[in-house]
Amino acid sequence: MSDRPTTPILDRVNVPADMKRLSDAELKRLADELRAETISAVSETGGHLGAGLGVVELTVALHAVFDTPKDKLIWDVSHQCYPHKILTGRRDRIRTLRMKDGLSGFTKRSESPFDPFGAAHSSTSISAALGFAVARDLGGTTESGLGDAIAVIGDGAISAGMAYEAMNNAGHLKKRLIVILNDNEMSIAPPTGAMSSYLSRLYAGDPFQEFKAAAKGAVGLLPEPFREGAKRAKDLLKHTVVGGTLFEELGFSYVGPIDGHDLDQLLPVLRTVKARATGPILIHAITKKGKGYGPAEAARDKGHGVSKFNVVTGEQKKAPSNAPSYTKVFAEALIDEATRDDKVVAVTAAMPDGTGLNLFAERFPARCFDVGIAEQHGVTFAAGLAAGGMKPFAAIYSTFLQRGYDQVVHDVALQRLPVRFAIDRAGLVGADGATHAGAFDVAFMANLPGMVVMAAADEAELVHMVATAVAHDDGPIAFRYPRGEGVGVEMPERGEVLEIGKGRIIRKGKGVAILSFGTRLSEVEAAAEALSARGIEPTVADARFAKPLDRDLILDLAANHDALITIEEGAVGGFGSHVAQLLAEEGVFDTGLKYRSMVLPDIFIDQASPRDMYDVAAMNAEHIEAKVLATLGIADISKRA
């Protein structure tokens, strides 16, 4: 406790209403204390540090000026919400961030009335805020009332199409709506695309002021790095449209740019906007991710996602790795294949580091494409690459691939284009919780005609699946793998091309067969050892493919065992459902086979360690053992009271 910062003003703030009694000078000191408290808390929990540090002053100003929770403050993505949580009655729990039974790392409606809309995927805030604004004007209500709707969105998130769909609609409806563009020149990866250049031009030249009385001369008060933003886009300055902005063309009044770390600018601008705004208005604030903490400011990703760390040195406390991560194995396998095949290209949607494609880009910069936060575009772009004779790998987290599903159906599967989907973060992911769980991709990919769907049981299998995907030109193919380390198996020198739709027997037994799809295989093997000690010798098989199924393997297992159990790290409707359909159509159930399918439960599982999350899902070794015993009708004496 003695190492924690001294926070006399923050100690007086339990909820934002307490800030109404503070002077502007005290609000500045509150911001300093809030930054110190955020750094201290995240040093103990790990999490998203840089984004929150970049909006400390903005968080203080918004809560001081507006009347939350009646006024709805919506943080886009909400990586940056830790300071907000500290000010909204959750300071006493802030050191439980991202832990089991603790605070979510994102905004969450069920957690607090000050979180009016949950988020963890980007670019949803303006749409949600517009919904609140229209509900307000139509007489809708919430428990805390309905006042202003304020969306805070970053320069990375505003590059996504959904944000523009929302702004276009908001400009048409002309409802009072406040959008804060938090422009820190940095999302998770360096921002890419024309929008980033456009924002550079906006604050490189003279500001376009609608509310000149509120922010007169604001740019003159900007620090030198902001005033000299022309260095980012000097070749584009000549294209600046004097007297108007893209935002104004969409129907928004535009205020800015202003210094998002200067409360002498933020407070009067926000107060004036609150008093005078009529229709939609956009306030352009320039901030610095990781602001106020040297190690975060110096980091390449500005302290986006950190482990527990030493506050003084910034050194992160990471456990030593016993095996390579699946993400790194994928990246190295893809690089290896690309050295032999110049048609291999890679596509990521703003996650080069998270997907390992930063390593690919270092080796093959001309063959790696970061399309920004634009999964829909990324999938169809990959489809175009495939149609043009390339071998595109679309490396996208399972939870983010959901955003591009129509394109997977319409632009890839329907045209049988050989796009290779590398689906990272499959299954339950730990501290990020339900919003990032890769629960649904097996179900939504395996029901598409012509789609090949694989799941790696370990890191060596992943290498083989990368090679298989490179060689597969007859339509689309997908392979999934989890977050975190592999299981420590011996790695092949080079991946081998697997026969499409063929699984493998891991262990031969009798009586009961367990058919695993994905990385639960190691838990299945542990369960088989425990069962063996009881005198039960299960057959264990690795399906490898959910589409097409290995019919011969599955029917053989069914014919030669009394019971068959499938297991997968996905929701109902996936691998097990396809196996059940096959068995039903083949009349296998008519002869009395006992069949069970272990899938993720029909709930969203809150953040915890992956092990604890799989406990909730009842999919660890002890649960598999219990499922076998129950299926065979054998009492588990170890569970008796």
Per-residue pLDDT band at 241 (split at 50, 70, 90)? very low
Q: Cβ contacts of residue 5 below 8 Å, gap of 6+?
A: 33, 36, 37, 40
Residues 296 and 82: beta-carbon distance below 8 Å: no
- The confidence score (pLDDT) of residue 614 equals 95
Residue 412 half-sphere exposure toward CB, CA atoms < 13 A: 34
Per-residue pLDDT band at 309 (split at 50, 70, 90)? confident
Residue 4: active-site member: no
Distance CA 477, CA 458 (A): 19
Residue 291: active-site member: no
Architecture of domain 504-639: 3-Layer(aba) Sandwich (3.40)
391, 403, 425, 483: which is the annotated catalytic residue?
403
Is residue 79 part of an annotated ligand binding site?
Answer: yes
| CA distance between the termini of the chain | 42
Reply yes or no on whether the pLDDT at 572 is more than 60. yes
Residue 568: active-site member: no
Distance CA 328, CA 459 (A): 10
Residue 317 half-sphere exposure toward CB, CA atoms < 13 A: 10
β partners of residue 547: 453
Q: Could you give the angle at the alpha carbon of 631 between the alpha carbons of 626 and 637, nearest 5°?
A: 45
37, 375, 525, 625: which is the annotated catalytic residue?
375
Fold of 10-298: Rossmann fold (3.40.50)
Is residue 537 part of an annotated ligand binding site?
Answer: no
What the block records as the tokens of 336 is: 């290896």
Reply yes or no on whether the pLDDT at 537 is more than 90. yes
Is residue 164 part of an annotated ligand binding site?
Answer: no
Is residue 120 part of an annotated ligand binding site?
Answer: yes
Closest CA to 306 of 188, 424, 192: 188
Q: Which amino acid is at 257?
A: P
Would 10-298 and 326-480 be classified into the same CATH topology?
yes
Reply yes or no on whether the pLDDT at 223 is more than 60. no
Is residue 84 part of an annotated ligand binding site?
Answer: no
Is residue 122 part of an annotated ligand binding site?
Answer: yes
The radius of gyration of the chain from alpha carbons, rounded to an integer in Å, stands at 27
- The confidence score (pLDDT) of residue 222 equals 40
Residues 493-500, mean pLDDT to the nearest whole number:
96
Reply yes or no on whether the pLDDT at 626 is more than 90. yes
Is residue 239 part of an annotated ligand binding site?
Answer: no
Distance CA 536, CA 178 (A): 65
Residues 260 and 180: beta-carbon distance below 8 Å: no
Percent of the chain scored above 70 by pLDDT? 89
Q: Where are the domains of the chain?
A: 10-298, 326-480, 504-639
Reply yes or no on whether the pLDDT at 570 is more than 60. yes
Distance CA 436, CA 428 (A): 8
Reply yes or no on whether the pLDDT at 591 is more than 60. yes
Fold of 326-480: Rossmann fold (3.40.50)
Is residue 292 part of an annotated ligand binding site?
Answer: no
